[in-house]
Structure formats: structure tokens, C-alpha cells
Chain A
Amino acid sequence: GNSVTQMEGPVTLSEEAFLTINCTYTATGYPSLFWYVQYPGEGLQLLLKATKADDKGSNKGFEATYRKETTSFHLEKGSVQVSDSAVYFCALTIQGAQKLVFGQGTRLTINP
């Protein structure tokens, strides 16, 4: 089946630290990959996406590269800010399908 596994949280970092949140997937078809972010009390917002192997999605200083050989889509940011504190979700959808499959989410807290 199709599934997404994220690194377990919570993750706590200091401001300006380097961030990596790991995401790996299994897929029966050819997936598109997404990172969503959820700020407290809000719905999910699309952070970035990649739709084919070796694509790099980027937004707001965050990046993730679609690695087909390692079935991974790790989220990175070079210097985090307190405002990046949120829950991050990795997700996939299979070509021809209309449903997203989510990882369990990783809660990130950035301390000043």
C-alpha cells in the first residue's frame, strides 16, 4: 500500500539552527510529494511540493528534494526562526488518485 513515515517529534531547536525533518514513503505508483505546515489553531497550509524525481520544492527558506532512489522527501531549512514553530506534515498522492496520504506529523518548537 501507500504510506508516509516521518521522524518522530517533538523536535526542539534554538533560533538560527539547521533543521531537518525526515520523511520516507512507500508507494504502489508514481507519487507526488507535499509538505504541509499547521500553525496553532489553524488548518494545514501547503508549504512546498515536488512532482517528479530529483525535483526540489522550496518556499519560505524551506527545501525538500524528491529522492526516488531512497524514497525520501526530507524537509530542510538553514536557519530557523521562532515563527517556524508549528506541526509539519509530509504527504503523498499517487498519479491518477485523488487522495492524500499523510504522515503522522512532526511538532517543531523553536526557542529564542
Chain B
Amino acid sequence: DAGITQSPRHKVTETGTPVTLRCHQTENHRYMYWYRQDPGHGLRLIHYSYGVKDTDKGEVSDGYSVSRSKTEDFLLTLESATSSQTSVYFCAIKPGQGSNQPQHFGDGTRLSIL
């Protein structure tokens, strides 16, 4: 168990509402990631963080923002949710800078936008 907790695990909300997903880690790892998983696309990176208050965009960042005010928490926000953001969202963590170090994943949040 990689010590990653995602909350909520399931959420249903309406188009146009704001949504925040939380990723909490107990490992004190430097790198944290948010992915979305959709059929036929594998996992696609939304945003990632390389330290407190240090974040960068991934390949599908439009419509999403993130914040990391402390090492253990990485928040993903959909300011105004759209139906195209219905997906399963995964958080991942990585201890250090080495590219040969694997990422470790949480159990996911299933988000439905009606």
C-alpha cells in the first residue's frame, strides 16, 4: 500500500458546478500527479507537482486547476464541470527525481457530471 488516499471515491454532480478532488499521501514524496482514465485513451496526465506550490501542466490540463499548499495534499479543481470531464481520476506519487523510479497510484475517484 503506497499510502495514498483519494477523496471522494465517487461523486455525481451537475454541469456548471465546481468540484474539488483531494489526494492525500503519508509518504512525504516530492512528486504528485493527477491523471484521468477514459476508455481507449489509457491514462492521461492533467497536472503534476514537484513540490509545495510548484505545479505544471500535463497534456489535458484545460478546464482543470491544481493546488499544493503542503507536501501531503494535492487538490484538483474543476471550476465549472462539464460532461466531458466525466471520468475516473487517479492520483499518483513518486519519491524523487530519478526517471527510473515508478509512480504509485491511489484507488481512483469516479466522477460523473450530469
Contacts and interface: CB of A to CB of B under 8 A. Distances in A.
Contact-residue size bin, chain A (C-beta under 8 Å from the other chain)? 20 to 34
Interface stretch (B60-68, B69-77, B93-101): B93-101
B45 interface: yes
B107 A42 contact: yes
Interface residues of B, number: 25
B103 interface: yes
Interface string A29-62: 0001010100001111110010100000000000
Interface of A: 32, 34, 36, 41-46, 49, 51, 89, 93-100, 102-105
**Nearest 5 pairs between A and B by C-beta?**
A43-B105, A102-B42, A51-B100, A44-B105, A32-B100
9 contacts: A43-B90, A43-B107, A44-B90, A46-B103, A46-B104, A95-B99, A98-B97, A100-B103, A105-B42
